[in-house]
Amino acid sequence: MSNTPLPPEITPAQAISDAAGLVTEHVAHRNEPGPPSSQRGDPVRPLPRVGAGFIGAYMFTYFGLNLVMLMPALFSLAYKVQVIDPTGKHTSLGLVIGLGSILGLIAGPVAGVLADGTRLRWGRRRPWLVAGLLLAALGALIIALVSSIALMVVGWSISQLAVAVISAGFNPVLAERVPSAQRGRVGALGGVSAALAGVGASLFGSFLTGSMLLLFLTPCVVFALGLLIFLPILKDEPAPAGTVVPSLAEVFRSFLFNPRQHSDFALVFIGKFLLQFGFTFFSTYQLYFLLDRLGSTPEEAGRKLAAAGGISLVALMSFAVLGGFLSDRLRRRKPFIYLAAALIATGLITVAVADSITMFILGGTLLSAGTGAFTSVDLAMATDLLPEPDKAGKYMGIYYLSSGIPGVIAPIVAPLVIGLGGGGNYAALFTCGAILAAGTAITTARIRSVR
């Protein structure tokens, strides 16, 4: 399981799959009799170093996976919805993304548990990667061909199921095949691939609006090419006969904790939930903002979003690296959360009043700088606040939910805000997002166990 921060555009299915993986790992270790193998004297076979070929294939495959997730979420779904339902596009898009993501929320834990116990001759990860690709292609094909919002919900539900299935096969690769001395580097390069996919999603989409089939199936083709390179070099065996696989009931129960008893951890969870909620308002409706407020065509909007994304990526990475260094050096977490909340709120307010692409890019850059400042310390602060450090898998799995759940709820709530005052009220939507981001500073101030 990678310890790299979640990309801000991550989908609910991916977030829940990451959470389920951590919780499943916790439950499995809890169910093991006796002390861990490292304390029993059992031999532990060291993992061989991975070469440039493996790392390159891993990066390209991860790029394809993120393109499968992000190109529809950031561009393609919004484009298709406004073609089918131009007058009710805000509500329809919210329903497609919100309702369609519910299946991914449920499927993540199930896929993770089943993948860990898979004992097919072809291995326990490869079958899930291939099955996920086929599901992704099916979901994309349905979305591309249908002409109703209800059937788009069906297609996006299948696509989110596909992400959960793919993640069950791909997420464990870093821990199972990459030695610890290389995991930080490989994980960071994977993060770069995800970021590039986020920038490329809108750019690629802007050139494919002439064909719905190409618009929705291209990410699947890119991911398929990645698998053609990656699967032959991926060493994968069936699950060992003695593998402890927790029941689904145990996994779902492990997502529960007492927020009154562990109030600091509950507050850091709520803080990230609020921040992600506000960010989802922006990422879901930014295309429509450019179309309606700035008068761009879909093709122009896609290219403008890609340009804004490239600039924002530099800001995000700069603040993430600098924030992480300074946080460790100063031994402070909370000031960086305050800075992040202020930058994100300011960025959303700037976009809310933007009347030019320059103002939009400025707001997006401030938002991304704040996201970078937040991701530089949020996992560290959550780790500092673990109620039971010996159950890190459980509580970090719960923490991941703070990113996944807003991806389901925010798109459904957003049309109610946009509709205020007669409709098209993006200023109200992004202002609400700014208020939610500011709420993160309030929850952080109430945390007592870290500085």
Region label for 123, one of left (φ > 0), alpha (ψ between -120 and 50) or beta (otherwise): left
Three-class secondary structure of residue 294 per DSSP: coil
| Residue 86 buriedness (CB in 10 A; 0-12 / 13-18 / 19+) | exposed
Domain with CATH 1.20.1250.20 in the chain: 1-29+52-256, 260-451
Three-class secondary structure of residue 43 per DSSP: coil
Rounded-to-integer distance, Cα 136 and Cα 224, Å: 10
Four-CA torsion 12, 15, 19, 21, nearest 10 degrees: 110
Distances (CA, A) of 341 to 120, 267, 385: 47, 15, 19
pLDDT at 92: 95
Q: Which CATH superfamily is domain 260-451 in?
A: MFS general substrate transporter like domains (1.20.1250.20)
pLDDT at 238: 80
Four-CA torsion 67, 73, 74, 75, nearest 10 degrees: 90
pLDDT at 264: 85
Rounded-to-integer distance, Cα 401 and Cα 392, Å: 14
Residue pLDDT tens, the chain, 451 long: 333 334 445 555 555 555 545 554 554 455 444 444 444 444 456 788 888 899 999 999 999 999 999 999 999 999 999 999 999 999 999 999 999 988 888 887 777 777 777 777 788 888 999 999 999 999 999 999 999 999 999 999 999 999 989 988 888 888 788 887 787 778 778 878 888 888 899 999 999 999 999 999 999 999 999 999 999 998 877 877 777 777 777 777 777 778 888 888 889 899 999 999 999 999 999 999 999 999 999 999 999 999 998 899 889 888 888 887 787 788 788 888 999 999 999 999 999 999 999 999 999 999 999 988 887 777 777 777 778 776 666 677 777 788 888 989 999 999 999 999 888 899 999 999 999 999 999 999 998 877 7
- CA proximity to 69, closest of 10, 19, 157: 10
DSSP state of 76: I
- CA proximity to 76, closest of 213, 266, 247: 213
- Please check whether residue 60 is in contact with residue 283, taking contact to mean a CB–CB distance below 8 angstroms: no
- The number of beta carbons lying within 10 Å of the beta carbon of residue 194 is 23
In order, the DSSP letters of 97-111 are: HHHHHHHHHHHHHHH
Token readout for 350 is 């700037």
- pTM value is 0.83
pLDDT at 333: 82
pLDDT at 253: 75
pLDDT at 25: 53
Distances (CA, A) of 309 to 1, 315, 361: 27, 10, 8
DSSP state of 422: G
Residue with tokens 């539900």: 157
- Angle, CA 358 vertex, CA 353 and CA 359 arms, to 5°: 20
pLDDT at 5: 37
Q: Which CATH superfamily is domain 1-29+52-256 in?
A: MFS general substrate transporter like domains (1.20.1250.20)
